[in-house]
Structure 1
Amino acid sequence: MKVGIRLNKEDKSLRQQRTISKAIAYAGIGLHSGKAVEIRLLPAAIDYGIKFLRTDIAQAQPISAKVTNVTDTLRATTIANAVGTHVFTVEHLLAALAMLNIDNCLVEISSPEPPVADGSAKVFLDLLEQAGIEEQVASVQEFCLPEVVAVYDADKYICALPYDGFRISFTSINNHPLLGTQHYDLVVSEAACKTEIAPARTIGFMHEVEMLKKMGLGLGGSLENVVVYDEKSVLTPLRFEDELVRHKILDVIGDLSLVGKIKAHIIAVKSSHALNIQLAKKINELKNLEGK
């Protein structure tokens, strides 16, 4: 018996799958690579899912945005296909797609990393709305979490509880004098995400800059696309007083979209891409068990 996956096509409460109405493009630079990149977002058929296609590689195969394809979570989320072709820092674009409930889309990308844009998901969300959203004649398969799932790492954790909807409660704790403890509770909806979460940008710290550069990361970061803090102050005008925790929720939305549509209450304290993906993998294992 399939307990977790709702497959009844006649159930009027089920949402229809969505794609975009027309192709649309955007160019910029990657946050970590610093490389120039252009993406094209294209409509896709029912059950296609979200896939990335590297146009800078001859005869490249698409990379499905699935948690089973995650290969790295250092400072960002990386996905790759069976032959090792990869894209990284996919979480902001994935979050925008998830916020608008877009299930099927092909992302053509001319470099290994999408544009950082302004460091948030808002540019991508606006781009998708410009392209238009089209409902498709098939229902979404939504996984209703049957039990509690959790991941712990010392004082950091993220867990998912059964819940009739999708909700995220995140607590961020940072010793910077302007940050401290921030908490945000979001019942995820398209309207709430557009105004409260999508505009929240990536946070960075001046003391990390040299270390990141030595690691080959943050090469495209600037005050234009990262909210930067020095030891005592913030160098970038904030969009929200609690922009850090809102962006953490944005990352959770993007990372957990890799497991598909779920019904759950996510509760996190100091979570990271690594913990988000570990949770997504545990949910995926449950999903596979329930689907048998």
Structure 2
Amino acid sequence: MPIGLLGFQTTIASPVGLDGIGVHSGTPVSIMFHPAEAGTGIVFQRVTDGEVVAEVRAVSSQVGNTDLCTVLGVQPDHSIATVEHVMAALYAMGIDNIVVEVHGAEMPIMDGSSEPFIEAIEQVGTKTLGVKRRYIRVVKPVRIESGASWSEFLPYDGTRFEVEIDFETPLIGRQSWKGDLTAQTFKAELSRARTFGFMRDVERLWAAGYALGSSLENSVVISDDHAVINIEGLRYKGDEFVRHKTLDAVGDLAMAGAQFIGCYRSYRGGHRMNAQALKALLSDPTAYEVVEPPAARQRVGAREFVAVNAPEFAPWSA
């Protein structure tokens, strides 16, 4: 069953919180997931001194900086950074409506993967709401290119990712992950893949005020002699790197504001290219259609979905 192909919207059953540090700021961060009503979408609230100073919907039009992570909002004092791992977990678990209360400027990095967020959601469970879910179905190819890099959406009867990376270091080289995305597949094959970086970049990032909270506890670090420094090694044999890039892509495409039915392919992509590809798709009304289940059933197949005339349904532009 393709991921999220449920007849109704969902939320979490009760609030749940997590504590950690920001990978770039290096400061403590606490978050709280709150249940939300149907139609709310995924909303991030930045809280300072007990007051909500910013509320940003997790949609394509609100994506700001994508240099080292995905940031929601464009004003530094009213933005929330490093949301991609949380968004990947919410997308994979089929959560449509939730309020994420963030006490800090970025999400906690936890162990560098999506697994802690998956565990938090599973701890409280999910709740089905009595409102139909709508989807974005890709109906024609949409492709963007930047030098040797490219990304594209293709029509597909399900939700599929095909991500390929190519690094000069022999430790990584050329790797790919391909598969239909289900909650089970995400949990088993992608959720534990950690962010990674190179020792040669550390001083430059620190000087620029980034990666101040990065450590061997939340990142896979590659030495100058092309070896993994982490004592425990890799979680997924030799290809944890492409699995994490796929995890990032899931989180970035969750900014569509709805689950999508189609195939996403990329070569040497990243946060910026993921965001640009999504905007290219959503800016072309002939490239997708809004669909919903034909009847009030809990689970349906992708082929059963029918197009709806929903000009007002454009959560990505909210």
TM-based fold match above 0.5: yes
| Equivalence for 1:62 | 55
Alignment partner of 1:243 out of 240, 245, 265 = 240
Following TM superposition, by how much is the alpha carbon of 1:141 offset from its aligned partner in structure 2, in angstroms? 0.8
| Equivalence for 2:259 | 261
Q: Relative to 1, partners in 2 of residues 1:83 and 1:203: Cα closer, same or farther, differing over 3 Å?
A: closer
Q: Relative to 1, partners in 2 of residues 1:41 and 1:59: Cα closer, same or farther, differing over 3 Å?
A: closer
**Partners of 1:204 and 1:26 in 2: how far apart?**
24
Alignment partner of 1:233 out of 197, 213, 227 = 227
Task: Report the secondary structure of 2:105's partner residue.
Answer: coil
Task: Report the secondary structure of 2:205's partner residue.
Answer: helix
Alignment partner of 1:23 out of 5, 15, 22 = 15
| Equivalence for 2:101 | 108
Consecutive unaligned residues of structure 1, counting only runs of 5 or more, are 1-12
Consecutive unaligned residues of structure 2, counting only runs of 5 or more, are 290-309, 312-318
Instruction: Give CA-to-partner distance per residue, 1:132-153, whole Å, 9 cap, x none.
Output: 1111111211011121111111
Q: Relative to 1, partners in 2 of residues 1:119 and 1:17: Cα closer, same or farther, differing over 3 Å?
A: same
Alignment partner of 2:64 out of 53, 68, 71 = 71
**Partners of 1:246 and 1:25 in 2: how far apart?**
26
2:114 counterpart of 1:121: yes
Following TM superposition, by how much is the alpha carbon of 1:285 offset from its aligned partner in structure 2, in angstroms? 1.5
Following TM superposition, by how much is the alpha carbon of 1:283 offset from its aligned partner in structure 2, in angstroms? 1.8
2:33 counterpart of 1:33: no
Instruction: Give CA-to-partner distance per residue, 1:239-270, whole Å, 9 cap, x none.
Output: 01200000011000000000121111111101
Paired residues of 1:49 and 1:64 also in contact (CA < 8 A): yes
**Where in structure 2 are the equivalents of 1:94-105 lying within 5 Å?**
94-105=87-98
Q: Relative to 1, partners in 2 of residues 1:175 and 1:51: Cα closer, same or farther, differing over 3 Å?
A: same
Task: Report the secondary structure of 2:153's partner residue.
Answer: strand
Task: Report the secondary structure of 1:193's partner residue.
Answer: helix
**Partners of 2:117 and 2:42 in 1: how far apart?**
14
Q: TM-score, normalised by structure 1?
A: 0.92
Paired residues of 1:20 and 1:105 also in contact (CA < 8 A): yes
Instruction: Give CA-to-partner distance per residue, 1:87-115, whole Å, 9 cap, x none.
Output: 01100000000010001000000001011
**Where in structure 2 are the equivalents of 1:1-292 lying within 5 Å?**
14-56=6-48, 58-80=51-73, 85-231=78-224, 232-236=226-230, 237-240=233-236, 241-259=238-256, 260-287=258-285, 291-292=310-311
Paired residues of 2:47 and 2:54 also in contact (CA < 8 A): no
Q: Percent identity?
A: 33
| Equivalence for 1:6 | none
**Partners of 1:223 and 1:82 in 2: how far apart?**
30
Q: Relative to 1, partners in 2 of residues 1:178 and 1:83: Cα closer, same or farther, differing over 3 Å?
A: closer
Paired residues of 1:64 and 1:81 also in contact (CA < 8 A): no
Q: Which moved more, 1:57-66 or 1:220-229?
A: 57-66
Task: Report the secondary structure of 2:283's partner residue.
Answer: helix
Task: Report the secondary structure of 2:156's partner residue.
Answer: coil
Following TM superposition, by how much is the alpha carbon of 1:280 offset from its aligned partner in structure 2, in angstroms? 1.0
Task: Report the secondary structure of 1:177's partner residue.
Answer: coil
**Partners of 2:76 and 2:134 in 1: how far apart?**
28
Following TM superposition, by how much is the alpha carbon of 1:14 offset from its aligned partner in structure 2, in angstroms? 4.7
**Partners of 2:52 and 2:114 in 1: how far apart?**
29
Following TM superposition, by how much is the alpha carbon of 1:81 offset from its aligned partner in structure 2, in angstroms? 7.4
Q: Relative to 1, partners in 2 of residues 1:50 and 1:208: Cα closer, same or farther, differing over 3 Å?
A: same
Q: C-alpha root-mean-square deviation of aligned residues, in Å? A: 1.7
Task: Report the secondary structure of 1:47's partner residue.
Answer: coil
Following TM superposition, by how much is the alpha carbon of 1:286 offset from its aligned partner in structure 2, in angstroms? 2.8
| Equivalence for 1:8 | none
Q: TM-score, normalised by structure 2?
A: 0.85
**Partners of 2:74 and 2:174 in 1: how far apart?**
38
Paired residues of 1:61 and 1:81 also in contact (CA < 8 A): no
